[in-house]
A and B are shown apart, each in its own frame.
Chain A
Amino acid sequence: MASLIALTPCAGLLPLTIGAITVTEVVPQALTSVAPFKGHKKAVSEALKAKVGAGLPALNRRSGAVTWFGHGVWMVAGAVSVEGAAVTDQSDAWAVVEIKGAGVEDVLARLVPVDLRASVFKKGHVAKTMLAHLSVTVVRTGADSFEITTMRSMSKTLLHDLEVAMRGVAARG
């Protein structure tokens, strides 16, 4: 069998630290989108709960390995197969990064038109929105950390936008 050289979406670009903020790449073993067919949402949720330990969370939320990913779609971190849903392997389609550090909200406030402050955007909250000109999924993973997912082809653009904002925030001291 051929030995293929796999490159992650942000290979050679991360980690990146400017001031107090660090961006690192998150490499999920697999990503699977699950879109339940009409009338099958409950059964799919229960099947997922048995397989990955978390059912379908509410809109704009993450529960364990399952993240709301848009209208009628959830993204599961892991390889799963369930009945009653359109299930698609999207493992190599997305670039996932974690941005972490004191004042991380100030960096994202320059780019994302949604209020991500801890008082309104808590751990496990999900925002499908834009970061500069990119469509992204933003998830709060901790008190000073967020996970950002964008299309793999846009990883360099995402990191450029983040870097410029991080430099701007760091320069203000």
Chain B
Amino acid sequence: MRIDCPNCGERDRREFYYQGDAVVLNRPSEDAGAQAWDDYLHNRANPAGETRDLWFHEGGCRAWLVVERNTMTHAVHAATLAEKVKR
């Protein structure tokens, strides 16, 4: 599996560290209520297919990326700098 880092270009998967669902970028407001915070902290979908995850380019430029990929086909569609993702 190879990830196309926006800074470094296409790199091997072993340079990257996997964090988890990119839902953590969407932090609820302080007064969003217990349900929203429960979802944000604990509840994750486990889809077979398209996913949107946070990866860290640990062995490279050390940027956080949002990687869109498909867990059924292992295809990697896109990698975007996390700081540039609209929230």
Contact = CB atoms under 8 A, between A and B. Distances in A.
State yes or no: do A and B come from one complex.
Answer: yes
Interface string B48-78: 0000000001111111000000000000000
A135 B11 CA distance: 13
Contacts of A60: 7-9
B7 to A, nearest CB: 5
Interface residues of A, number: 12
A123 interface: no
Interface string B1-40: 0000001110110110000000000000000000000000
A129 B7 contact: no
9 contacts: A60-B9, A71-B62, A71-B63, A113-B15, A128-B59, A128-B61, A130-B15, A130-B60, A135-B58
Majority secondary structure of chain A interface residues (helix, strand, loop or mixed)? loop
Interface of B: 7-9, 11-12, 14-15, 57-63, 81
Contacts of A71: 7, 57, 61-63, 81
Interface of A: 59-60, 70-72, 113-114, 127-130, 135
A110 to B, nearest CB: 15
Contacts of A128: 8, 59-62
B15, B58, B61: which has the most chain A beta carbons within 10 Å?
A: B61
B64 to A, nearest CB: 8
B65 to A, nearest CB: 10
A70 B63 CA distance: 8
A79 B9 CA distance: 31
A129 B59 contact: yes
A70 B11 contact: no
A136 to B, nearest CB: 9
Contact of B59 (A59, A72, A135): A135
